[in-house]
Amino acid sequence: MDRIELNKAKRFKGEFSPTPDKSISHRAVIFSSLSKGESIIRNFLRAEDPMSTVNAFRALGVDINDEGDDIVVNGNGIYGLAESHNIIDCGNSGTTIRLLSGVLAGNPFFSVLTGDESLRIRPMARVINPLQQMGAEIMARAENKYPPLAIKGKKLQSIQYKMPVASAQVKSAILLAGLYADGETVIAEPAKSRDHTERMLPAFGASINVNGLHVSVKGGTELKGAEVYVPGDFSSAAFFIIGALLIRDSDITITGVGMNPTRTGLLSVLRKMGAEIEVQNIRNLSGEPVADIHCKGGAELKAVSINKEEIPALIDEFPILCVAATQANGTTTIRGAEELRVKESDRIRSMATELGKMGVAIEEFGDGLSIKGQSVLKGANIESYGDHRIAMAMAIAGLIADGETTIHGVSSVNISFPGFFQIIRKLTL
């Protein structure tokens, strides 16, 4: 039975580390697979999404070993991949299919990439267009819109590309294709998206240059194996930060959380709402800032307006931020968030529908929504839409609701956060 029942929690208390970062885990496997020699990935996220990336590179002939504590990859360089004998299943993972498209665009063999029901309606033109401009041969279903994708890699030319949407997946796909291109590929982003690729690729020997919203890569450089430590995932910690703020007697410390500023926009928003969140013991691990986060319950939150510029740095925190907004005084408005409609589910629709079932007054717009607080949530039968972040956000809503909440489709948490419910159990003991 793929569901869980939750009741109102008295408190969150204790200390824990969140699961390792999903975005950084994907990149560590991809860059290691394209490098010559041995790479070691410490604190890798063993969840369904990063495992889709591991399985994809195994299908392309890379030797990837799970040695318990570490993942050890023995790569053969950027031209060391072999044609897969079968189609490559990217599961639910947008990062896998988009970044892999960039890699395969420069590899002189045939590949077919597909995924689950959700991935097969995620937009792909955003990667196909620039990769075609570089010279790749790519086709996709529905007039080049959706997976499956068929790719015949070619000799690529560098491009100067102005991205229409702020997307780290698109930026990373182009940077990876740029490794195979003649000359320097230059990308201009409309707003800063997460920069893990730019931070990590140089450790493998790539020549990357960042200048504000411009990122460039020089083609033709060989990559060599490296050692990467993956910090805790801020996006996973976010569910517990907001859980602790909303559950009155809470007091928690989350250790080893990745604090990359392109990811922590939620902290600025929560502080604007009046929350006190302490960030302690800031350190650097493999080029990423890491810290411990301490927060307590009983905060008096006030409503805020969030606009387009703020969205990229909190893109994955939208569902849990909606839950926080239900407990803030006044009406919170989130606009310029149309990208949320094309995530693992239509997250604007999913959150509006499911919080609506709990009695929240929500208005939905094409590019966001407004949420009236403070709302007394009522336990309800909740659908996850197979979307891990909807399941987890609504679970936190269930912990502050009156009466019982049932979340259906909870196994989706295994996409990014196996052990999510065990941590809830531990913190609510």
Instruction: Please identify every residue annotated as catalytic.
Output: 316
Closest distance to ligand S3P from the beta carbon of 339 (Å): 6
What length is written for the chain? 429
**Angle ∠(196,311,264) on CA atoms, nearest 5:** 50
# residues near ligand S3P by CB under 6 A = 12
Compute the distance between CA of residue 323 and CA of residue 242 in angstroms, rounded to an integer.
8
For residue 375, state whether it binds ligand S3P (rule: CB under 6 A).
no
Closest distance to ligand S3P from the beta carbon of 323 (Å): 18
Which of 192/194 has CB closer to ligand S3P? 194
Compute the distance between CA of residue 333 and CA of residue 305 in angstroms, rounded to an integer.
5
Q: Which one of 108-116, 165-173, 181-189, 278-286 is the stretch in contact with ligand S3P (CB under 6 A)? A: 165-173
Compute the distance between CA of residue 201 and CA of residue 344 in angstroms, rounded to an integer.
26
Closest distance to ligand S3P from the beta carbon of 48 (Å): 13
For residue 167, state whether it binds ligand S3P (rule: CB under 6 A).
yes
Strand, coil or helix: what is 330? strand
For residue 174, state whether it binds ligand S3P (rule: CB under 6 A).
no
For residue 250, state whether it binds ligand S3P (rule: CB under 6 A).
no
Site map for ligand S3P, 22-41, x if CB under 6 A?
Answer: -x--x---------------
Closest distance to ligand S3P from the beta carbon of 235 (Å): 7
Compute the distance between CA of residue 266 and CA of residue 222 in angstroms, rounded to an integer.
37
Task: Measure the CA dihedral 243/8/362/296, to 10°.
Answer: -30
Residue 157 structure tokens: 């030319």
For residue 316, state whether it binds ligand S3P (rule: CB under 6 A).
yes
Select from 35, 169, 216, 345 the one that contacts ligand S3P (CB under 6 A): 169
Closest distance to ligand S3P from the beta carbon of 220 (Å): 24
Site map for ligand S3P, 64-103, x if CB under 6 A?
Answer: -------------------------------x--------
Compute the distance between CA of residue 324 and CA of residue 371 in angstroms, rounded to an integer.
10
For residue 53, state whether it binds ligand S3P (rule: CB under 6 A).
no
CB neighbour list of residue 333: distance below 8 Å, 6 or more residues apart: 303, 305, 306, 368, 369, 370
Candidates 34, 52, 32, 55; CA nearest to 42 is 32
Which of 103/275 has CB closer to ligand S3P? 103
Candidates 335, 337, 282; CA nearest to 305 is 335
For residue 428, state whether it binds ligand S3P (rule: CB under 6 A).
no
Residues in contact with ligand S3P by CB under 6 A are: 23, 26, 95, 167-169, 172, 193-194, 315-316, 339
